[in-house]
Amino acid sequence: MANKTIVDGLKPYALGEKLRTLRLKKSMGLVQLGKHTSLSAAMLSKLERGKLFPTLPTLLRIAMVFGVGLDYFFTDERKRHVVSIVRKAERLRFPESPGRAPITYHFESLDFKTTERKLNAFYAEFESPPAENIRMHQHAGVELLYLIGGKLELTIGSDTHTLDQGDAIYFDSAVRHKYRRIGKQSCSAVIVTTA
Last residue of a domain, one of 49, 79, 109: 79
What CATH number did the domain enclosing 47 receive?
1.10.260.40
**Do 24 and 75 fall within a single domain?**
yes
**Do 112 and 165 fall within a single domain?**
yes
**Do 159 and 92 fall within a single domain?**
yes
**Do 92 and 175 fall within a single domain?**
yes
Q: Which amino acid is residue 135, in one-letter code?
A: R
The total domain count for the chain is 2
pLDDT at 186 over 60: yes
Give 134-164 pLDDT, tens digit per residue: 888 898 899 999 999 999 999 999 999 999 9
User: Tell me, what's the pLDDT at 172?
Assistant: 95
**Do 158 and 125 fall within a single domain?**
yes
The boundaries of the domain holding residue 162 are: 88-194
**Do 188 and 92 fall within a single domain?**
yes
**Do 124 and 146 fall within a single domain?**
yes
Q: Which amino acid is residue 70, in one-letter code?
A: L
**2 vs 50, which has greater pLDDT?**
50
Q: Which amino acid is residue 1, in one-letter code?
A: M
**Do 45 and 93 fall within a single domain?**
no
Q: How many CB atoms are closer than 10 A to CB 56? A: 10
- Please report, in angstroms and rounded to a whole number, the separation of the first and last CA atoms in the chain: 35
Give 56-96 pLDDT, tens digit per residue: 899 988 988 888 888 888 875 555 556 788 899 998 898 88
**Buried b vs exposed e over 6-23: b needs ≥16 C-beta within 10 Å?**
eeeebeeeebbebbbebb
Instruction: Calculate Rg over the CA atoms of the chain.
Output: 18
What CATH number did the domain enclosing 180 receive?
2.60.120.10
**84 vs 124, which has greater pLDDT?**
124
Please state the φ and ψ torsions of residue 62, each to the nearest 5 degrees.
-70, -45
- Sheet containing strand 119-126, strands side by side: 93-95, 105-109, 119-126, 188-194, 142-149, 168-172
Q: What is the mean pLDDT of the chain?
A: 87
**50 vs 146, which has greater pLDDT?**
146
pLDDT at 131 over 90: no
Last residue of a domain, one of 62, 79, 96: 79
Nearest alpha-carbon partner for 135 in 181, 195, 180, 186: 180
